[in-house]
Amino acid sequence: MCGLAGIAALGEDNLPAGVGTILAGMSRAVGHRGPDAEQVYMDGPVGLGFRRLALVGPESGDQPLFSEDGKVVLIANGEVYNHRQLVTGSLTGVRTRTNSDCEVLAHLYARDGLRFLDDVVGMFAIALWDRMRHRLVLARDRFGIKPLYYTRVDGAVLFASEIKALFAHPGCRRELDWEGALADQSLTMSPYLTDAPVNTWFRGIEIVPAGSIVSIDLRDGEVDRHQYWNLPSFEGDAGISDEEFVRTYRDLLTGAVRDAATADAELGLFLSGGIDSTAVAALAGATGSPIHTFTVLSGGTLVTGDSEFGHRAASTLGMPNHQLVFDAKTVPAVDEWKRLLWLLETPLCGPEQYYKYELYRYAKQARPQLRGMLLGAGADEYNGGFSTVFNVGADWAGFESGIRQMARAAALHKTPALAPWWECRESPLLEGALLGSSATSPLVDPYPAYVASRHRYLQQYNCWHDDRTAAGNGIEARVPFLDHRIIELLMRIPTRQRAGLLWDKKILREAVRDIVPSEIAARPKGAFIWGEGAGFTHRMVVRLLSQQDCALLEEALASPGARQVLCPDAARAMLGRLRSERQPADARLLLSLVNLGLLDEMTRQLPAVPLDAPPRDVLTAISIGDWDCEAPAIAERVRDHSVPSLHDVVAFPENVLLVQARQSPSRLYLVVDGAFEYVVDADLDAAWFAFLQTVDGERTLGELLDLCGQPYVSVEQTLLASIDAGLLQGIPA
């Protein structure tokens, strides 16, 4: 991971006077991305700023890099995983000057022109100066893992790894795009499919699309866009059995992890205990390099089981595991949140980004030589990871029904006048043909459109924040699941084989079943800090917005743009309502609006660059020996006011009643506000059934556990989920 910045003059032979100072400021704005070295290179109409984080060839990989004849000048952020194969294969005879994995890109371009990335495997953002053709070339990897933005200013093209570096140029337009942001599906979370271009959130700022090359003729400013890779079309390969797909998938994933785990510096791994990160851990561990793992320990991850299974996975695989503690009082201060938001440059900044950023901060302090972090990101989008989330049934057909509804919503989004015929009725009164449902329409086969929508969201959300949270700590995020060869294989699965391979990520589960713990191979899809643990996350957001007399909300409302589009009284009333709710689900939406207002103000008064952020203490991490024995103490570390300790009395709230019918002695019913809402079956959860029968509103949690003869771990997750849902409450004894 590195930081890029540059200026290219249009229609001029040389850069104007004083540009060096501006370029230095742009480079410093992304200085956090590359703490190991800095170079500024000026050549005719082009100036390049480069900040280096050395993971491969640390002794001889400084940039810019050059072709053999010196006519191609290149700076790059990322990793070319197959650089050795390219040098010894198609580039045989070419003399390389450095050990940098990215040098091959200059030689490939010198030979192949705009086809130079066709055979490259890796993640990268590239800025290239073609002296002979007077051409500036900007390019990104196939999934947009590494960022690159550009804009035009006063007869020049500016480009950089982060938007803040563009803003460091005094002539750059600095204006939040309120209309575009508020209408973006990733912000509204409306349930429809879209493959719209990635939103940069700021007017006049463009992003180099994933899998594309943007070529700019500096003589006349003409722009050529070349797409060297697209998400493959779904052309099923009927000649491959399920077993062959699984074997090939295993081979490709093994190779991708091996590539991502190759570095001349220490690597770590974020471990949630899900199948994705555990698969990466198991395969990376096979490379022989010692890998420390890092896990979020919060009220939410305790409920979802991420913290527990992260510990269990690391223990089984023989890897050190650091559990970073986020207790109920852990809330970023006002200034801390603004610095994080400015680092990320997106209104989608939220609790997930905060947790990951703090995890990186801790990892960097605990392991000072650590330079890269392996992630399980990108598996869900293409492996059927959300098939159990977006379904309206218990199988693949139910998933297809769910995403078909999202496809219909997308069609109605484009023709809103027809929406009333489909809304608020038991079944549509019109045929789908009216919405253009041909044989290839998403209304007939919604899965390709669904994957395209997730592909877009991956770039807009996951890749964006995974890069920034890592870069803000001088670490490179590595994502082996985003290897294009894996995705191309998945796109070849025929329609009739999708259910057997993609339902609940079966292809991945089968591929790694022999190397991951069996309990994790079968563990259902979870939702990090949302899902069952969402209450903890939402309440953290409410505390964030409420601190210092609602300082973040008030500052956001005071921004010039917010005064034009937001209703202050409604926003304040919403926060007031959220503060009184046990499940303040709208907190996420309100935070997005606050982020927009804060970013609007930041464009007018640029904050300090991340390099100038004041030092502060990192959070505390714990190492766990025996989860079962330590579970009560672990829960005590992260519990909020509604989670009882062993010394607190457990009781039903006044509106909740426990009922056991004589004719069904093995069933208990929870009646909420006079309505039968929940059934507890002894055959399905004997421990929880026994525990509920002992709750009398007088005994402490510890006494109840002794009375029913159940260990805390057997009821932990259901207890926390029940308290979070308001079915039980803890009362200090």
CA distance 429 to 423: 10
Question: What was the pLDDT predicted at 391?
Answer: 87
By percentage, how much of the chain surpasses pLDDT 70? 95
CA distance 94 to 104: 9
CA distance 321 to 362: 12
How would you class 504 by CB atoms within 10 Å of its CB: exposed for 0-12, middle for 13-18, buried for 19 or more?
buried
- Decide if 276 contacts 498 (C-beta within 8 A): no
CA distance 276 to 583: 29
- Decide if 271 contacts 345 (C-beta within 8 A): no
The amino acid at 21: T
Q: What is the average per-residue pLDDT within 164-185?
A: 97
Question: What was the pLDDT predicted at 467?
Answer: 97
Question: What was the pLDDT predicted at 81?
Answer: 95
Question: What was the pLDDT predicted at 54?
Answer: 74
Q: Tokens in use for 22?
A: 């501006």
Name the DSSP letter for residue 526.
-
By percentage, how much of the chain surpasses pLDDT 90? 74
Helices 275-285 and 306-317: crossing angle in degrees, nearest 10, is 20
Domains annotated for the chain, with CATH where assigned, are: 3-227 (3.60.20.10), 532-607 (no CATH), 642-732 (3.90.930.60)
User: What pLDDT band is residue 703 in, cutting at 50, 70 and 90?
Assistant: very high
Mean pLDDT of the chain: 91
Q: What is the average per-residue pLDDT within 616-633?
A: 93
Q: Say which of 2, 102, 172, 349 is annotated catalytic.
A: 2
Q: Which helix (H) or strand (E) holds 92?
A: none
Question: What was the pLDDT predicted at 351?
Answer: 95
- Give the tens place of pLDDT for each residue, 516-572: 999 999 998 876 666 667 778 888 999 999 999 999 999 999 999 999 999 999 999
- Evaluate if residue 440 carries a pLDDT over 70: no
Q: Which helix (H) or strand (E) holds 721?
A: helix 712-724
CA distance 234 to 462: 24
| Number of Cα atoms under 13 Å in the Cβ half of residue 716 | 24
Q: What is the average per-residue pLDDT within 245-249?
A: 98
CA distance 351 to 361: 15
Lowest-pLDDT range, 299-313, 640-654, 656-670, 690-704?
640-654
- Evaluate if residue 438 carries a pLDDT over 70: no
pTM for the predicted model, two decimal places? 0.89
Distances (CA, A) of 13 to 6, 9, 10, 42, 150: 16, 8, 8, 12, 21
- Decide if 205 contacts 151 (C-beta within 8 A): yes
- Evaluate if residue 49 carries a pLDDT over 70: yes
Dihedral through CA 345, CA 346, CA 348, CA 349, nearest 10?
10
* 2 has catalytic annotation: yes
- Give the tens place of pLDDT for each residue, 452-472: 999 999 999 999 999 999 999
CA distance 597 to 538: 20
Q: What is the average per-residue pLDDT within 505-512?
A: 97
CA distance 453 to 409: 13
Q: Tokens in use for 539?
A: 């309440």
